[in-house]
Structure 1
Amino acid sequence: MAASRSALIALLVVVSCTAAASAVTFTVGDTQGWSLRGDYATWASGKDFKVGDTLLFNFATGAHDVLEVSKSDYDGCNTGNAMNNIQTGPATVNLTSAGDHYYICGISGHCGGGMKLAVNVGSGSGSPSPSTPSAPGTPTPTTPGTPTPPAPAGPAPSAAPARRAAGPALAVATGVLLKLAMF
């Protein structure tokens, strides 16, 4: 019994590691990071954002910030009702819920100058998410971008980790762990 329990625990560790490896960190923007030179509608287009993923906004503290706002505040570049305000760069935003999420720079004139990002976050089940919303008047490109691994600052490497649909495996592993705990 002890050997089979040990084997089961080892299997659950592997499944849990697979689930953790399925999240992706997306470094927002191009080599300039979160800046006035970015085209964030083009950057987000074609990316498959999922719950558990992370957005990394590279910027110098004081030069920019990241505000999470509603759709109407995103459209109007309104900074007064931010749900989250990150003043220190680089900023990490964890995508914890499915749906549309909107981010702007709150420095005067920056949002109006194009520093705004809209992403559609899927549930993480491995199914494709709907197309990402884009800024009004911005053409949608046909070439998708590539997620990048986490980087503390500067340009992100072009290699991208593979995404795995680990949600169901994690649920099974959790159920088995709970049953083991009852022994």
Structure 2
Amino acid sequence: FLYTSALHNVLEVSEADFDGCTQDKVIGMHPVGPTIIPLTKGGNHYFFCGIGTHCDQGLKLSITVGKASAATGPDDDGAPDTSPPADASNSSSAPMLHYFAGVLGLILLPLLFV
């Protein structure tokens, strides 16, 4: 997350806090930017700026991390896979695209408050 310290922060919160822009169950607080948060666990992760009414104004981001898949399956016989490529909507690059779109939004949104 790229942001100006003292003007913004990044809070990782519960889904309930995310939905209501409240800070009842803060999971992590990051007051100094830039902030890198490794997303190592699958599931939903919720972030917002906890300064003033920034969250209420939309400075928030939810990210869904999929479960890691095994490199080989139980029916893997070592032969090359001849199945057609997966649909682009199911591609593993789709979550990355959403991540970068969210990060871009977090970078550009503070410019509205300058």
- What is the TM-score normalised by the length of structure 2? 0.61
Gaps of 5+ in 1: 1-56, 133-143, 149-153, 156-183
Amino acid at match of 2:5: T
How far has the Cα of 1:80 moved from its partner?
3.1
- Asked whether 1:103 is paired with 2:47, we answer yes
Structure-2 residue corresponding to 1:66:
10
Give the alignment of 1:32-47 within 5 angstroms: none
- In terms of Rg, which structure is larger? 1
How far has the Cα of 1:124 moved from its partner?
3.0
CA deviations on 1:125-169 (whole Å, 9 max, x unpaired) are: 28857x87xxxxxxxxxxx55859xxxxx89xxxxxxxxxxxxxx
- Asked whether 1:87 is paired with 2:47, we answer no
- Provide runs of 4+ in structure 1 moved above 4 Å: 126-129, 144-148
The question of whether the paired residues in 1 share the 8 Å contact of 2:63 and 2:99 is answered with no
The question of whether the paired residues in 2 share the 8 Å contact of 1:74 and 1:104 is answered with yes
Question: Once the two structures are aligned, what percentage of the paired residues are identical?
Answer: 37
The question of whether the paired residues in 2 share the 8 Å contact of 1:122 and 1:128 is answered with no
Q: Say which of 119, 127, 131 aligns to 2:63.
A: 119
Gaps of 5+ in 2: 71-89, 102-106, 109-114
2:22 and 2:33 mapped to 1: Cα distance?
21
2:43 and 2:8 mapped to 1: Cα distance?
25
CA RMSD of aligned residues (A): 3.0
2:55 and 2:16 mapped to 1: Cα distance?
13
How far has the Cα of 1:94 moved from its partner?
0.6
2:4 and 2:37 mapped to 1: Cα distance?
16
How far has the Cα of 1:75 moved from its partner?
0.2
- What is the TM-score normalised by the length of structure 1? 0.39
**Cα distance change on mapping 1:147 and 1:84 into 2, 3 Å:** same
> SS where residue 19 of structure 2 aligns?
helix
1:146 and 1:68 mapped to 2: Cα distance?
15
